[in-house]
Amino acid sequence: MIALGPADPCVHTLLALLADPHHVLSIGLPEWDKTIRLARQARLLGVLAQRIQPHDELRSAVPECVLGHLRSATVYSAHRGHLLRMELTALAKALPPELPVVVLKGAAYMLQKLDLARGRLPSDVDLMVAHSDLDPAEAALRNAGWEFEEIDAYTERYYRQWSHELPPLRVPGHPLEVDLHHTITPVTGRLKPDTTLLFADLQALPGERFLVLHPLDQILHAVVHLFQDSDLQAHLRDLVDIDGLLRAHVHSHDDWQALAARAVQHRVERPLWYALRYCRAWLTTPVPEDLPLATPPAAVIRLFDWVFPRCTLPRIPDQPAGISRRTAARLGSLRHQWLRLPPGLLVRQIAHKSMRAWRARITLRQQSE
């Protein structure tokens, strides 16, 4: 097992539970106290609940006070799932039927009825259309009541020029936002999956208006998302998604070979290598040893093994972050910025953000005086 850094011992408990819910049989109340908090912080409480609750013999081993939290999380994720379904129904009505529209991430897992969708907390709706379909899709949504959130001109320019999505859209009063993408990664990012390949292999789902990515592309999208598309902060749940997708879509020797080959085609070999490393180590994902993926230099692996757990694993929320965690978070955040934007742009982005921070501070001072 890869060292978890200064993580609370109950992080082991959480990982063990995610890997095998039978672990509930060996947990005492003080451990539950922390494990529930860690799972909630990682937004994985609903997932945990759904892995335990269906089994009578496991459920009966869980103390009543803990079960309450699991039930609550199940109710909440069911509610979020319902909201997502309602939003998809509304979107299906609003979008012209001839326009091919892909659903990504949570919505795709739900429409495919994958096990990993159970208890998962979907946040927003991610849609993808071909670049040439962006304008008609945007027009159709705005016609049907979706509006852009109010953003300043800089942010809007950033979205439109450099991002892989439009600013978030929302119907006033609707609880969920819609993100309209034209590819799965930022235009300026260093990782550039092959968009033509993505669109060539889209899959229809019986009885559904929306398309989904090819199963292997779903995995690679989640991998890219884990390493590039989010702040390198507390995204154990992304790793849990990857684990769930691997278990759902990849079974035979040939499947694994195909996944590796697909990663090479998309030029995301390296991120896949790391994702598989941590999936296997932390979530006991059955990853074969002999995949045709190039191994990174040993020194880089050592660095990654130091940074990744510190940025990824949840911590007991009211205990202060240790120095190593803060350092790792900064390294992670810098790396995130660097991966996303070309260097010239990075300077501008940071300068703009700092300016805004200054302005906010000045406003605050004026208010307090």
Partner 1 sequence: MTSQQPQEPQHTQPTRIRDLPLTLLEKRFSTASLALDYGAAIVRVRSRLGVFVRDFQQVYGAFAVADAPPFADFHTEVCGGQGLRSFLRPQSRFLIDGIQPFDPFPKAQALPHFEWGVNWCFAQRFNQHVLLHAGALALGDRAVIMAAPPGAGKSTLTAAMMLRGFRMLSDEFGVLCPRTGKLWPMLKPVALKNRAVDVIRDFADNAILGPLYKGTRKGDVAHLAPLAASVDARQRPARPCLLLFPSFRDGATLNIRRLPGEEAFARVAFNSFNYALLGQISFAAVAEVVAACPAFALEYSRLDEAIEAIRTMIAESTSDAVAA
Binding site for partner 1 (CB under 8 A): 28-30, 32-33, 37, 40-41, 63-69, 71-72, 75-76, 78-79, 82, 317-319, 368
Name the residue nearer to partner 1 (CB basis): 290 or 318: 318
Smallest gap from Cβ 31 to partner 1, in A, equals: 9
Residue 119's φ and ψ, nearest 5 degrees, are 85, -10
Name the residue nearer to partner 1 (CB basis): 150 or 318: 318
CB 229 within 8 A of CB 219: no
Alpha helices for the chain (secondary structure H): 9-19, 29-41, 45-52, 56-59, 64-94, 105-111, 134-143, 153-162, 195-200, 215-224, 236-249, 253-265, 269-283, 298-312, 323-340, 343-368
Name the residue nearer to partner 1 (CB basis): 73 or 311: 73
Name the residue nearer to partner 1 (CB basis): 90 or 137: 90
Name the residue nearer to partner 1 (CB basis): 206 or 317: 317
Residue 137 to residue 365: CA distance in whole angstroms: 44
Smallest gap from Cβ 298 to partner 1, in A, equals: 37
Residue 325 to residue 321: CA distance in whole angstroms: 6
Smallest gap from Cβ 80 to partner 1, in A, equals: 10
CB 177 within 8 A of CB 170: yes
Nearest to 314 by CA among 30, 1, 7, 5: 7
Residue 148's φ and ψ, nearest 5 degrees, are -75, 145
Query: Pairing between strand 178-181 and 125-128?
Result: parallel
Residue indicated by tokens 């199963």: 215
Name the residue nearer to partner 1 (CB basis): 36 or 339: 36
Smallest gap from Cβ 94 to partner 1, in A, equals: 23
Smallest gap from Cβ 106 to partner 1, in A, equals: 18
Smallest gap from Cβ 89 to partner 1, in A, equals: 16
Name the residue nearer to partner 1 (CB basis): 71 or 190: 71
Strand arrangement of the beta sheet that strand 203-204 belongs to: 147-148, 169-170, 178-181, 125-128, 102-103, 211-212, 203-204
Smallest gap from Cβ 71 to partner 1, in A, equals: 4
